[in-house]
Amino acid sequence: MNKDYRSGFVTLIGRPNVGKSTLMNTLIGQKIAITSNKPQTTRNRIQTVYTDERGQIVFLDTPGIIKARNKLGDYMVRVTKSTMEDVDLMLWLVEASDFVGQGDQSIAKQLSDINKPLILVINKSDRVKKDEMFGIIDAYKDLCDFDEIVPVSALTGENTDELLSVIYKYLPYGEPFYDEDTVTDQPIRQITAELIREKALKCLNDEIPHGIAVVIDKMEEGREITNIDATIICEKDSHKGIIIGKQGTMLKKIGSAARYEIERLLEQHVNLKLWVRVKKDWRDSDVLIKNFGYKES
């Protein structure tokens, strides 16, 4: 093993919808975490692995730092806080704007109590002119005692190589935690369920709130085709009708979009069958939250 080899855990934190999942997918070169333009898309702690000749970075993508409104929200807040305590380095993602809102000011206060190396990552740099970035950096630089400030674009990949180099500077020397071909610790069933939920969020737009979950009922991998039965859980009978759509058109649209992504993931044909079931107020049920896969490690 190279004596200069570094290995460690890095968490991505920030307000909902600043691009944490997109950045993590870009850095590891593969889609693991789902993305959408809606807040609270990420609910679980998602662990991915980047390995090269310099070392190994284990990324932990967390739910956005939110104000909990139900038991699922409480769970998401606990996941984020526990992750912040377990890592070697924190990346705080903000958007490329010189306006620092209350959400970011609140995060800065939380970070002041945590004694970890901290890098400010200014995402969506492709949306601003280079000379505007100086003002954005100036707006944030005194909020916390940052070790580094790195502008990037998770969408285009701009400056992400520089971000990786900066991350390695703050990781301890040591052996890798995973084999070099490991990309994530997420079970395939969980990734599949999340891909279906992503497509449901995108297809439904703003027609229903975020009260949906996806459960994989059956997943049978064959030599040429994988058969998957999955259920979309919603909270109200009226939501069920919207998800199914007129003559099943919306459910077919969700299934078609999800099947395409799952086939790319599994690298084989997929036969996907979807159902919709109502579980009223499941986000406030400890039992149902755990049943639907939201468990603290």
Indicate whether 31 pLDDT > 90: no
Residues 185-244 pLDDT 10s: 777 888 888 889 888 988 887 666 567 888 899 999 888 899 999 999 988 888 999 999
Which pLDDT score, from 0 to 100, does residue 134 have? 94
Within 10 Å of residue 237's Cβ, how many Cβ atoms? 9
Q: Pick the more confident residue, 41 or 91.
A: 91
Grade residue 37 by pLDDT with cuts at 50, 70 and 90. Answer: very low
Residue 294 pLDDT: 57
Q: What is the pLDDT of residue 113?
A: 77
What's the CATH architecture for 188-291? 2-Layer Sandwich (3.30)
**pTM, whole model, 2 decimals?**
0.65
Q: What pLDDT is stored for residue 234 in this prediction? A: 86
Instruction: Give pLDDT, residue 32.
Output: 64
What pLDDT, on a 0 to 100 scale, did the predictor assign at position 289? 62
Which residues of the chain form CATH 3.40.50.300? Answer: 6-169
What strands, in cross-sheet order, belong to the sheet with 118-123?
46-52, 55-61, 6-13, 89-95, 118-123, 148-151
Pick the CATH number of 6-169 from 3.30.110.70, 3.40.50.2000, 3.40.50.300, 3.40.50.1100: 3.40.50.300
Give the residue-averaged pLDDT of 170-196. Answer: 85
* pLDDT tens digit sequence for 116-167: 899 999 999 999 998 999 999 999 999 999 999 999 999 999 999 999 999 9
3-state secondary structure of 121: strand
Contact residues for 63 (Cβ-Cβ < 8 A; gap 6+): 16, 40, 42, 43, 44, 45, 76, 77, 79, 80
Domain with CATH 3.30.300.20 in the chain: 188-291
